[in-house]
Amino acid sequence: MNFFQHGVASGDPLQDRVILWTRVTTAEPSEVQLEWEVAEDLSFQRIVCSGVTFAKIEDDHSVHVDAEGLNPGCHYFYRFHARGETSVTGRTKTLPVAGVGHLRFAQVSCSKFNAGFFNAYARIAERDDLDFLLHLGDYIYETANIPPSGQTAGAEIGRPFEPLHECKTLADYRMRYSQYRRDPDAQAMHAALPIIATVDDHEFADGAWRGGADVHEEDNDGPWAERLKVCFRVRWEWLPIRHPDPADTQRVYRSVQFGGLADLFLINTRTYRDQPVPAPEMNAPERTELGPEQREWLFREFEESKSRWQILGNPSVLSTTWRENISEEIKLPLLKTKLIAADGNGPDYDQWDGYPAEREQLLNLFRKHLGSTVVLSGDIHVGMVCEVEENPFEEKRDVVAVEFINSSITSQNLDDKMKWGYRTDSLKYEQAILREFPHVKWCDFDSHGFNIVDVTEERVQVEYWGVDTVTRRSKGVSLNSTWVVEHGTPKLLRIR
Ligand SMILES: [Fe+2]
């Protein structure tokens, strides 16, 4: 009997506590008692706290321990015991106190199980220089193994989704998360460092908005609100997360403070937003991506932030990927990567481009922290470095922030979709995009991997790391580009 088939995980660290997670695999229709312990050392000689907890049936036998009384900015080791079995040992880290001068973390999104192996997670797990992993969403994909025509099919690599059909029920989503958490590279990543995560649409359903999703049909699939309830429940069961508001178990938006060096604002751009619609309706001034409560929270806390840096953890690309009179030359890569509308004649209204009025307000908010706002984004599966501005195509530039968009862990991008060689035909399209989009300073439409974000008082440095393949397990990894923004001015410097 192996009780701990899904490994261990930790997440949502604070200065004095962190969530520790495991799950017990058992056919017994009853709760299972576990012991847990946290130590300063790998050999568990210096135990700092320990206790007893229960894996409950109603939580799908998952276990969350909020281990308290820890010291700030410290590494800890933890493990679980049940009926004579011991889990693997996990390593975690608490948040720093005031005066910390350095922060370093991984930025990722879009881990699609049937599209590739999680080599990027494995490379992150091997490092010992990271404080945490920031997951910007699409931690799972709910989609069917053979998806509807609007979505990209998986790769032929022997990793079909479980279940094969689109997740819709409690049992479906649980099975999907269970598959993800049996992956050895996902397990290694979770055992190596704590995660801080937000959500994108595929934690729920493709194209999710507050009243539904592209693929959700109320007649067949039941009320959207019920499906959302299931999604949030299973996400909590399977991830090491602490509800930011225990009274509202669907709340994800929150801020994380790093000792005055940086405040990280995590937003949810999916389940509160108005339905995505094309122009001209999308231009209506009252349309919202954030929803009233989240917007009020974000605008208040962001403006009041006293930290050296303000970092937005943003699951949907903020900078525009559309321009009027777009050339035929860049239509193909933008269409294939869904960065413009499917008919090629307008912006992709599923991203921030579809909520221009609220984006303008957000950019005005950034002006209050001009020179210290950094946007970290996921969702689009391609790496991009952008200057954030309202009208990038006007002569006079008005940059209010910088945006670093990570590529995907595995989800397909241009070379995968076009089935041409890695770093071959995509290069000329990337050059054309750089020519036509003055605010895009660098892009990579082929790589999969992760960003390493390194923060000091003086600057934020972002490295773009790519794995050599996702079609098999492989150790190859390379540093593809490095960018710096110095404190005080939203100006990008390329280091590499
Ligand atoms: Fe994605």
* Alpha carbon of 294 to ligand 1 centroid (Å): 22
Per-residue pLDDT of the chain in tens (496 residues, 90 and over written 9) = 689 999 999 999 999 999 999 999 998 889 999 999 999 999 999 999 999 999 999 999 999 999 999 999 999 999 999 999 999 999 999 999 999 999 999 999 999 999 999 999 999 999 999 999 999 999 999 999 999 988 899 999 999 999 999 999 999 999 999 999 999 999 999 999 999 999 999 999 999 999 999 999 999 999 999 999 999 999 999 999 999 999 999 999 999 999 999 999 999 999 999 999 999 999 999 999 999 999 999 999 999 999 999 999 999 999 999 999 999 999 999 999 999 999 999 999 999 999 999 999 999 999 999 999 999 999 999 999 999 999 999 999 999 999 999 999 999 999 999 999 999 999 999 999 999 999 999 999 999 999 999 999 999 999 999 999 999 999 999 999 999 999 999 999 999 9
Looking at the 3D structure of the chain, how many domains does it have?
2
CATH code (residue 323): 3.60.21.70
208 and 236 inside one domain: yes
* Alpha carbon of 316 to ligand 1 centroid (Å): 9
240 and 140 inside one domain: yes
65 and 185 inside one domain: no
Q: Is this model's pTM higher than 0.85 or not?
A: yes
268 and 385 inside one domain: yes
* Residue finishing a domain among 80, 95, 110: 95
**Does a cis peptide bond (omega within 30 degrees of 0) precede residue 163?**
yes
Crossing angle of helices 328-336/426-436, nearest 10°?
110
* Alpha carbon of 115 to ligand 1 centroid (Å): 11
CATH code (residue 73): 2.60.40.380
* Alpha carbon of 132 to ligand 1 centroid (Å): 21
126 and 69 inside one domain: no
* Alpha carbon of 203 to ligand 1 centroid (Å): 10
23 and 122 inside one domain: no
* Alpha carbon of 141 to ligand 1 centroid (Å): 8
112 and 72 inside one domain: no
64 and 142 inside one domain: no
489, 134 in Cβ contact below 8 A? Answer: no
Q: Quote the longest CA-to-CA distance of the chain.
A: 70
* Alpha carbon of 404 to ligand 1 centroid (Å): 16
168 and 45 inside one domain: no
71 and 177 inside one domain: no
Q: Which residues surround ligand 1, an ion (CB under 5 A)?
A: 110, 138, 411
322 and 447 inside one domain: yes
Q: Which domain holds residue 254?
A: 98-494
* Alpha carbon of 57 to ligand 1 centroid (Å): 31
* Residue finishing a domain among 95, 127, 147: 95
* Residue finishing a domain among 48, 73, 95: 95
* Alpha carbon of 284 to ligand 1 centroid (Å): 27
265 and 225 inside one domain: yes
* Alpha carbon of 323 to ligand 1 centroid (Å): 23
